[in-house]
Each structure stands twice: as C-alpha cells, then as structure tokens.
Amino acid sequence: MKIGFIGLGIMGKPMVKNLLKAGHEVIAYDIIKENVDDVVAAGAKAGASSKAIAEECTTIITMLPNSPHVKTVICGENGVLEGAKAGTAIIDMSSIAPLASQEIEKECAKKGVKMLDAPVSGGEPKAIDGSLSIMVGGDKALFDSVKDLLLCMGASAVHCGAIGAGNTTKLANQVVVALNIAAVAEAFTLARKAGVDPNLVFDAIKGGLAGSTVMNAKAPMMIGGDFKPGFKIDLHIKDLSNALDTGHGVGSPLPLTAAVMEMMQTLRADGFGQDDHSSLAKYYAKLSGTTIQP
C-alpha cells in the first residue's frame, strides 16, 4: 500500500520505518529536512508538501505535536484537503484535543474525505519496536479496513467509539501515566532520603501490586539520572492541558492531574521542558534536596 506520512519527529520517524519494514511504500513530509532525509535513507520517498502527498496518496497518516498543527496540515493553505480526492482516508495519530478531532473531521467530510483519530501510547521505545498501543475513534468500518496497517506500528489497535474517542482515551492514558510517574518519583525519593537503596526498593516491589509498565520504564531512568527524552515534559504538559480542558468541559474534576501539571510547569520554568517526563524526579529533588540517583 502507498502511504502518505506527515510529521517525522521522535515518534513519526520510527513509525515510518516500521511501515517500510512491513513492505509499504511511504511518501513522507516534514518541515525539518533532516527528518525527511532520515526516513528517505531507510527507503521512504520525500514528499514536497502536505498537499502534494494528498495528491499522490489515498491513505495519509499525520503525527504532529498538537491541535493547531493538525488543523494547519489538514485544513490550511497547501494542506491535505487541498490535494485530497473524495474517499481519501486520513489517520491522525497525533495526541490532540477530542473537540479538535471532531472539528477537523467535519471539514474533511465536506470534501468526502474520511478521518480517524488514532493517538498512541508507548513513547519512542515502543514506536521503535512497533509495539505501540493505538486507540482509535471514528467510523468502525474505516477502522476495520486499516487495522492491519495500524498493527504494523503497534501491538494493539482498539476502536473506542466515534471521532474524538481515540483522543479522549489517550487523555485518560496520559493522566494515568503522569500520576504514576509522579508517584514513582515521590516513593523513590522517600527511599533515598531514608537511606534505602532505590535499586533494592525497585527489585522488591516491581513484582507486587505497585509494579507497572510505567515503573519498569521510568524507575531505572530516575535511578540512573538518565532523562533523555522518550516523551518530553513539554509534550506531557500539552496532553494534561487538553485533559484539564476536556474535564472542565464535561464536568469531570481532575485534582490530581492539576497537581502534577503544576509540577511539570515548575520543571519547564527550571529549563527541563525538553527532558523526559521521568524528570519529575527532579521536582522531588528540588523539594527534598536529595536525588534518587547516587
């Protein structure tokens, strides 16, 4: 299948490479030339613009930072809808506000273009090994027709409901992840401050009820002081902002989310916005005067 792919950041590049490994032809575009060059070296073809990709491909994947970027790429000047034919399918795998997905889908429908919102969870490591969790909103028949394509990039792809449901599910995911990371950072700082080796704490509790995929991924980073971004604080702030806005809109209070959002805002103010979200450990180091790592 010929796939158009727009957005080649930390997540997009490995996702394209997995599509190529699965035998798909990929025409890729990004505003950063080096990102395009990276996937071209892996076998993709370079697209000239979002519009040009839509003129060539009837299945298009977007993987972009936030709602405004998706709106511009799909609905803006020289965007996908300017080049798309009726029947084109857009799979937006960005993590954006559910309302934005619904608004973009309405614009697509005016041109006979179909759209799914299909955000992912797993960060860069799972994007690289093709084991992302993909949560999808939109027409079920369209989902069924592209599920095998999605599974070239993920270990699971679940249809969650109408358009916007994928991003609502992703917001729930991001709330759980953020609070879990904060809890791990708080607990391991307590251990270090009390004189207990966090490595031993990790070994002791990871197999019990406190164990989680988040702990397994992030505790070693905190203990090792490795905050190379798999998912940046700045991006998690974006997701929590969307979660809080959505919660306010539907009348669902998110007090714990709001607290972790303020922790992340503090880290951004301290210059750590581009660090991995495991750098919540730095927030606790600031409070306690003790780092988790030796």
CATH no. for residue 50?
3.40.50.720
Is 243 inside any structural domain?
yes
pLDDT digits (tens, 9 = 90+) for 146-181: 999 999 999 999 999 999 999 999 999 999 999 999
- Are residues 188 and 233 both part of a single domain? yes
173 within domain boundaries: yes
Domain match, 26 and 158 both: yes
Cα distances (angstroms) measured from residue 266 to each of 4, 64, 129, 233, 293: 38, 25, 32, 10, 20
Same-domain check for residues 28 and 152: yes
pTM of the model: 0.90
Q: How many domains does the chain have?
A: 2
Final residue before a domain boundary, out of 162, 182, 211: 162
- From 118, 143, 162, the end of a domain falls on 162
Residue 18 C-beta-side C-alpha neighbours within 13 Å: 23
3-state secondary structure of 168: helix
Residue at 293 is within a domain: no
Does 228 participate in catalysis according to the annotation?
no
What domain range includes position 252?
168-288
On the question of pLDDT at 122 being above 90, the answer is no
Q: Are 230 and 9 in contact (CB under 8 A)?
A: no
Neighbouring CB atoms inside 10 A of 223's CB total: 21
Which one from 114, 170, 232, 282 is the annotated catalytic residue?
170
Are residues 67 and 193 located together in one domain of the fold? no
Domain termination residue (choose one: 144, 162, 180): 162
Region 105-109: mean pLDDT is 98
Q: Write out pLDDT tens, residues 265-278.
A: 999 999 999 999 99
